[in-house]
Chain A
Amino acid sequence: MSITMKRAVMAAFGLLAAAALWPLMLALNAGRAFFHSYLIFTIAQGAALGLVFGAFFGSLEGVVVSSRPKALGGLLFGAAFGALAGAVGALAGQLFLFWAGSGLWRSASRRDGIGLAVAAGLGWAVAGSLLGLTEGLRARSGRKLAAGLLGGLAGGLIGGAALSAASYRFPERPLALLAGLSAFGLALGLAYAAFENRFSAGCLMVLNGPLKGKQYPVVSRFTRIGSAPGCDLVLKGYPEVAALHAALSLEGGRVFVRAAAPRAAAGRATVVAETKAPLLLVNDEPPGERALRPDDVLAVGKAKLIYGYFS
């Protein structure tokens, strides 16, 4: 899958999440009398938003690389972390409202109007930037965290403003809420995709086999390649690919590839096991201690990947 395709899927996921969330939000709103207080109600709203968006965005990576276990794991992690993120965002919005209510917008109508709208938008922005961290946390990648934080913040600000404006301007229209949620999801997905690519240190594209054409941006400090579902780059359906076959490491913006070996102390991978070493070649040669250059061709078992910057 190309980066463009991935962006399209990300945007689509934002819209899907919005569609899934919409009636849930309406139901929450209709059942607000069951909540103990506005504060808890607002936190529940935030948690619901985070849960659904987190579940969709968390499963994205797994869907993109066609790995069902990864998609399901990401879904669960995203839902749990997203619910937390949404609740924290909603709480932040309320804290802002209490502060603004005693300083910035002191009159009742401004507090209930613009104050509430801005606080809600801010809450969604905070929730969005935390949601952006989902993939980074799941993959334990600093670059993904940074990309997620910036993408989530940008998407959350734009989407949060749209969502808040829609519900502020048309408070009684269910479709306005749907439009607002869609804008939120779209902004979040697109902004994250934009920043993810910016933060990647190149990309690996699969050249043959079942995953042909799929691109994997190198954004983690450590990327495991193998046929096991736990790997970051899962080469399933390729002959001669070991469960944990090779590893990419990102050092100062440069990418190194090494044969996976039993993890040595302090994470230092040593090239061992000449006897039954799985096939790993860079440009038809065993990988040396040099960084990958664009257009390098990796052979991982029977799988071939090309390294470079693709649009």
Chain B
Amino acid sequence: MNAYRSIKAPFLRAARIGAAAVALTLLSVAPASAQGSAAPASAAPASAAPASAAPRGATGLAISQIEASALLSRQRTRLYLSAPGLARGSDGLPAVEIWESPDGVSFERAELVALSERPNEDFGISFLLLLDNSGSMWTDRDGGPGEQGQKLRIEAAKEAAAAFISSLGPKDRVGLVVFNTRYWAALAPGSSPEDALRALDEIRRPSSEDAYTELYLSLERAIRDFAMEPGRRALIALSDGENYPYALIAGKPNPETGLAAASPAQAIDAAIREGVTVYALRYGAQKDQMLGAIADGSGGRSFDADDASALASVYDTIRRDVLAELAVDYRASMAPGERRWVRVAARDVQGRELRAERYYYVGTLFGSGAAAPEPFYFLAPLAAALLWLALVLFRLERETDKAGLRLLFAPGGQKTRFVPLAGVATVIGASPDADLSVAGNPALGARHATVLFDQATASYTLVADGSLTVNNRTVTKKKLESGDVINLAGTVVVFDEALAKAARAAKPDAKAAGKAGAGKPRAGSPKPSGAKSR
């Protein structure tokens, strides 16, 4: 039984990657057998063998793609499940349970919204073929120059790809990326199969400078280019060698990517973020060690092939696998955090438990911080409320309690000034010894105007020497009222006087009546309070 190898292989690879962020497709045929079985790993068959050997075929369960594009709008996440031979429920559909977790530890059951069988037949599949066109691809199977009628590897790869493209259904979409030192998007994803066949024909032998194998960098870029495609995205990467980056080995910047480098962990992260499944096709004897781990981490599988017919059968296997998938829509939770784990549990027809678990990314507004605000943060609204209250309760201006002249506008641009009126006469003018001396206005007379105080009536009267207006009317003499605007040849002053005093003077009876009404009996008649101001 293959269970042991299927569990262990991804773990070993993950350990080699040494990156915490590596995603693993945990596949198990009953947890007990996964942990305890000591079945030895058998050697991979010579050709077209699933190298990462997910226990598909007869039974098995894997999450091949997670689609979260409807999460923010309809609160739904879609899982594509590679799950042949599941036990069916009373409704005739495969019975699956979905669990979700914000941390990968505590899972909660999620509500299943819809389950469809073979959904990719109806909507079609998007394939992106990533084809190695490095120098070694232009050798034969044994690394020779292709004499004695030996087929070059690139020829075998093109043949297999052409056969695959020809077998695609009318709704399937395809794209082609050819890479070596350079990355060439030969055909944009989402194109028709006929265009793909034409693009295959345009592959040419690279110069020695261009013959490197920028495998990880190209893979990561292809994943991002592929991410725009709707629906099921299957990227099939074919390579006959190991990652052989130009910058690192040639010691100079790559003509396209400079000194950029990519790790398998980065490629896996990109695949998970974009919801792209990577299928690795390792051709020939020299195999990239991490390509299989990338495939596993992205929800795909890896295969080894040694010749053209093996290659063709791998392409066919991938397509049949994807066509046989289930799609499950479930109601996603509102758990905080950018990363979300999902677990699928089901039983195979023999009643054995099957489980698959992966994580995906959730876009969040205002970040993903789940931490509750610190209690002292709430001092901020408290302080804001207090400040607001203070602004409401305390008036920003205070009323004047004594009579005076306030400079409102002067041609010289002088600042507002307040001069209290004291004594019997207050002189306003340009002269330095005027009581209100205004500089910088040549039109102003030395003693332009005088404010006289009449003690008998406690009132102020303005007497003009030069021309002036009070409230825009030319006057020579005027009894001033609070707020009167005096314009002395462009210098504008406001006469200010406490209104309360004016009010008391104006309404002595009302005040007195109010006091009497307060219930304080007084001897004799109340004295008019107006008298006090005299």
Q: How far is the CB of A136 from chain B (nearest CB, A)?
A: 22
- Known pairs A109-B273, A239-B499; A304 contacts B484 (CB<8 A): yes
User: With a CB–CB cut-off of 8 A, which chain A residues contact B485?
Assistant: 207, 295, 297, 304, 306
**How far is A140 from B72 in the complex, measured between Cα atoms in Å?**
37
Is B423 an interface residue when CB atoms closer than 8 A count as contact? no
Q: Is B383 within 8 A of A19, CB to CB?
A: yes
Q: Are B336 and A1 in contact (CB under 8 A)?
A: no
Interface positions of B from 459 to 479, Cβ below 8 Å from A: 470-473
- Among A78-86, A170-178, A222-230, the stretch that binds chain B is A170-178
A143-202, CB < 8 A from B: 167, 170-174, 177-178
Query: Which of B301-309, B369-377, B512-520 forms part of the interface with chain A?
Result: B369-377
A23 near B378 with CB under 8 A, answer yes
The reply to whether B384 and A111 form a contact with Cβ atoms under 8 Å apart is no
A68-B228 contact given A29-B367, A42-B365, A94-B72, CB 8 Å threshold = no
Is B397 touching A210 in the complex (CB atoms < 8 A)? yes
Residues of A within 8 A of B472 (CB): 283, 295-297
* Cross-chain contact of A1 among B384, B397, B497, B506 (Cβ < 8 A): B397
A113 touching B377 in the complex, CB below 8 Å, given contacts A66-B395, A174-B369, A303-B483: no
Using known A-B contacts A39-B73, A283-B472, determine if residue A302 contacts B502 with beta carbons closer than 8 Å.
yes
Collect the chain B residues with CB atoms within 8 Å of residue A214's CB: 397
Q: Is A88 an interface residue (CB 8 A)?
A: no
A22, closest chain B residue (CB): B380
CB distance B384 to A32 under 8 Å? no
Q: In this complex, what residue of A is CB-closest to B336?
A: A32
A20 beta carbon closer than 8 Å to chain B: yes
Among A32-67, those with CB < 8 Å from B are 32-39, 41-42, 45, 56, 59, 62-63, 66
**For chain B, which range describes its interface: under 10, 10 to 19, 20 to 34, or 35 or more residues?**
35 or more
Asked if B368 lies at the interface with its beta carbon under 8 angstroms from chain A, I say: yes
Interfacial residues of chain A within 1-37, with CB under 8 A of chain B in the complex: 1, 5, 9, 12-13, 16-17, 19-27, 29-37
Chain A residues with CB under 8 A of B365: 42, 45, 116, 120, 167
Q: Does A299 contact B (CB under 8 A)?
A: yes
Q: Report Cα–Cα, A39/B72, bound state, in Å.
A: 6
Q: How far is the CA of A65 from the CA of B32 in the complex (A)?
A: 76
CA distance A266 to B497 in the complex (A): 41
A-chain residues with CB within 8 Å of residue B507 when the two chains form the complex: 239
Contact with B along A244-284 (1 / 0, CB 8 A): 00000000000000000000000000000000000001011
Interface residue SS majority, chain B: loop
Instruction: Report Cα–Cα, A172/B369, bound state, in Å.
Output: 5
Q: Does A309 contact B (CB under 8 A)?
A: no
Residue numbers in A under 8 Å from B273 (CB-CB): 108-109, 112
Contact A20 B333 (CB under 8 A): no
Query: Does B34 have its Cβ within 8 Å of any Cβ on chain A?
Result: no
Number of A-B contacts (CB under 8 A): 226
Q: Which residues of B contact A73 (CB under 8 A)?
A: none
Taking CB atoms, residues of chain A closer than 8 Å to B368 are 171-172
B513 to chain A, nearest CB (A): 16
Q: Is B250 located at the chain interface by the 8 A CB criterion?
A: no
Bitwise, B374-411 to A at CB < 8 A (1) or not (0) is 10011011011101100111011101100000001000
| B273 shortest CB reach to chain A, Å | 5
The answer to whether B366 and A29 touch across the interface, beta carbons within 8 angstroms, is: yes
From A72, which residue of chain B is reached at the shortest CB distance?
A: B392
Min distance, Cβ A92 to any Cβ of chain B, angstroms: 14
Please report the C-alpha to C-alpha distance between residue A77 and residue B63 in the assembled complex, in whole angstroms: 52
A107 touches B396 (CB 8 A): no
> Cα distance A212–B391 when bound, in Å?
17
**Judging by beta carbons under 8 Å apart, are A107 and B372 in contact?**
no
Residues of B within 8 A of A287 (CB): none
In the complex formed, the residue of A with least CB distance to B399 is A210
Give B395's nearest chain A residue, CB to CB. A66
A30 touches B378 (CB 8 A): no
Q: Does A137 count as interface, using CB distance less than 8 angstroms?
A: no
- Give the distance in Å from the alpha carbon of A215 to the alpha carbon of B515 in the complex: 36
A35 to B334, CA, bound (A): 7
CB–CB A209/B381 < 8 A: no
A108-B274 CB under 8 A given contacts A170-B367, A172-B368, A304-B485: yes
Q: Which residue of A lies closest to B507 (CB)?
A: A239
Query: A284 — which chain B residues lie within 8 A by C-beta?
Result: 470-471, 473
Bound-complex Cα distance A101 to B67 (A): 13
What chain A residues lie within 8 Å of B69 (beta carbons)?
101, 108, 111
Chain A residues near B384 (CB, 8 Å)?
16-17, 19-20
Contact A212 B397 (CB under 8 A): yes
Q: Residue B425 at the A interface, CB < 8 A?
A: no
**B17: CB under 8 A from chain A?**
no
| Residue A97 interfacial (CB < 8 Å) | yes
Chain A residues contacting B497 (CB-CB under 8 Å) are 208
A142 in contact (CB, < 8 A): no
B230 adjacent to chain A (CB < 8 Å): yes
B434 at the A interface (CB under 8 A): no
Which residues of B lie under 8 Å from residue A109 when comparing CB positions?
A: 224, 227, 270, 273-274, 361
Contact A25 B366, beta carbon cutoff 8 Å: yes
A24, A36, A112, A210, most chain B CB atoms within 10 A? A112
- Provide the bound-state CA to CA distance between A56 and B368, in Å: 28
Determine the distance from Cα of A87 to Cα of B111 in the docked complex, in whole angstroms.
Answer: 28
Q: Nearest chain A CB to B342's CB is how many angstroms away?
A: 15
Cα-based distance from A94 to B363 in the complex (angstroms): 13
Provide the residues of chain B in CB contact with A56, threshold 8 Å: 388
A127–B369 Cα gap in the complex (Å)?
A: 24
B199 near A: Cβ within 8 Å?
A: no
Instruction: Give which listed residue, B229, B373, B387, B484, contacts A23 with CB less than 8 A.
Output: B373
Collect the chain B residues with CB atoms within 8 Å of residue A26's CB: 369, 371-373, 377
Contacts of A110 in B (CB 8 A): 227
**22 interchain pairs, CB-CB under 8 A:** A16-B387, A16-B388, A19-B384, A22-B381, A27-B372, A30-B371, A30-B373, A34-B334, A63-B388, A98-B72, A98-B73, A109-B273, A113-B363, A172-B367, A208-B400, A212-B496, A237-B499, A239-B506, A297-B471, A297-B485, A302-B483, A305-B483
Closest 5 CB pairs of A and B: A304-B483, A112-B363, A171-B367, A107-B227, A208-B483
- Beyond the given A26-B371, A174-B369, A305-B483, please list 7 additional residue pairs across the A-B interface where CB-CB is below 8 A: A20-B384, A32-B336, A172-B368, A208-B499, A212-B397, A284-B473, A295-B487
